[in-house]
Amino acid sequence: MIQPNNLLAVDLGAESGRAILGTLDDDQLVLLEIHRFPNTPVRLPDGLHWDILHLWSEIKNAIAITTRKQDRPSFSVGVDTWGVDFGLLDRCGALVGNPYHYRDNRTDGMMEQAFRRMPRDKIFELTGIQFMQLNTLYQLLAMVVGNSPALNSAETFLTIPDLLNYWLTGQVACEFSNATTTQCYDPRQRDWSTPLLDALNIPRRIFPNIVMPGARLGALSPHVAAEVGASQVEVIAPACHDTGSAVAAVPARNRDFAWISSGTWSILGAELREPVITSASLKNNFTNEGGVGGTFRFSKNIAGLWLVQECRRAWADGGGEISYEELTRMAAQAKSFCAVIDVDDEDFLKPGDMPGRIRAYCERTGQPAPESKGELVRCALEGIALKYRYVLERLEEMIGRRLEPIHIVGGGTKNRLLSQFTADATGRPVVTGPSEATAIGNMMVQALALGHIDSLDEARTIVAHSFELCAFEPGHRIGWDDAYARLLTLLESKRPTEWRRDEPPKR
């Protein structure tokens, strides 16, 4: 490459947003954080909303800051966010109301309402998406049931990143990876599911055309360009769903790999050419979401470091602030397998006294309760690794082949003890990194769209060359098989209500 290529990734998470500039030069990607800002929901009389105008202002700030850097005269920008939430536009292109937050309670009871209009198995047959109360489908149904004036007057539906792209460029389109999270999309027909939308009385006319990751949406609208002082900025739709971008940054060297996006919540899956929509994937509550190059992320949500984070918060509230590094050191020295927990049990889903909840779970299931902080954290980390094994085995059963290695990306890669536990529990080699996978994958799709690189394989090679990766081999497997058998016993004794839970977003 003669000239470096500057790629701005705007990554919006449920708690914060950040803009990271990547410089791609001589097949090396170098990152520079440009801007970081909070993403705080707003409670209004009608419910919980996103502060979308604040996010819009901060995105413009990020572009303006990048523009002011004298050595960055031109660049592209891509926006990725969480899934399922959306905005509605009226016939003049104006936003109708403030977008709701997926944790708003307006979707209470909507899944049951949907199943009265179309059977659960038929909805899965049409969409291949796991059942979660927060899905777009049930948010829209809540508006139908409530005879929402906003829905009645809407002309256009746009998921959150699509809305931001519309404001940046004036182009109306829904990007594939985020469209698939809505449970309104038919992955076999590669279009919105008209039969499903009609059955739930959701107006099909509001759903725009779908574009694939890498779509070049065009230059900034003139008024936006003038406001941010930018004249040479092109907007590209990456995989606009954050996990779709993260998986694009997995530095895999083969096709049969498993991936885990690890952080507060974990998502474990495989990258496939076609969706897996079967009775088994319905039973196991797996999901088929879009990826780069027309691929599908066949995956399942798993509680991640949430339990450890909540333990730490509870101890801090009690006056005992402890770093994650110290907690991990204490866990490494604690007794192994003092108890086995299902980290996805509904007892652990909400904020609260997590140490007390873990102890109560153990007592309720006839196990000795961990006492020390180290034992509690180790119990949580072992539980996460054991659940990884369980989900991986279900995944392999459904696709009919072994997946190896396991690639872990995201902030959870910083917990080396969990990475080693994952290798030990699954008996598979584990490769961790990069931690900034979402922003990096966003940049790599931009580079593909602009012709700076030729393929996703080349993108993954660049990631492998540009960032430090760590390898963990299975070892110290004594006790893991016995602990796994205990987990299976716990899971078999549970009432099958997993699909009813308000699970975390796909982040």
Residue indicated by tokens 């984070």: 309
Given phi > 0 = left and psi -120 to 50 = alpha, else beta, which region is 412?
alpha
Cα-based distances in Å from 294 to 239, 253, 451, 463, 466: 10, 19, 18, 20, 25
Cα-based distances in Å from 79 to 44, 56, 62, 312, 376: 26, 11, 11, 32, 38
Q: Are 418 and 305 in contact (CB under 8 A)?
A: yes
List the beta bridge partners of residue 237.
215
Q: Are 175 and 181 in contact (CB under 8 A)?
A: no
Query: Which residue in 289, 17, 76, 284 sits closest to 179, CA to CA?
Result: 289
Q: Helix, strand or coil for residue 396?
A: helix
> How would you write 51-90 as a 3-class SS string?
CHHHHHHHHHHHHHHHHHCCCCCCEEEEEEECCCCEEEEC
Task: Identify the sign of the CA torsion 80, 143, 502, 316.
Answer: positive
Q: Could you give the maximum distance between any two Cα atoms of the chain, in Å?
A: 66
Tokens of 503: 């699970």
Residue of 242, 344, 345, 424 with catalytic role: 242
What is the β-pairing status of strands 75-80 and 233-237? parallel
Tokens of 136: 């777009």
Q: How far apart are CA 235 and CA 211, in angstroms?
A: 13
- DSSP summary character for residue 101: P
What b/e string do you get for 157-185 counting C-beta neighbours within 10 Å, with b at 16 or more? bbbbbbbbbbbbbbbbbbbbbbbbbbbbb
Query: Which residue in 225, 242, 185, 183 sits closest to 208, CA to CA?
Result: 185
Query: Which residue in 172, 122, 12, 128 sits closest to 78, CA to CA?
Result: 12
Residue indicated by tokens 């059942």: 131
Judge whether 51 counts as a catalytic residue.
no
- DSSP summary character for residue 452: S
- Active-site residue list: 242
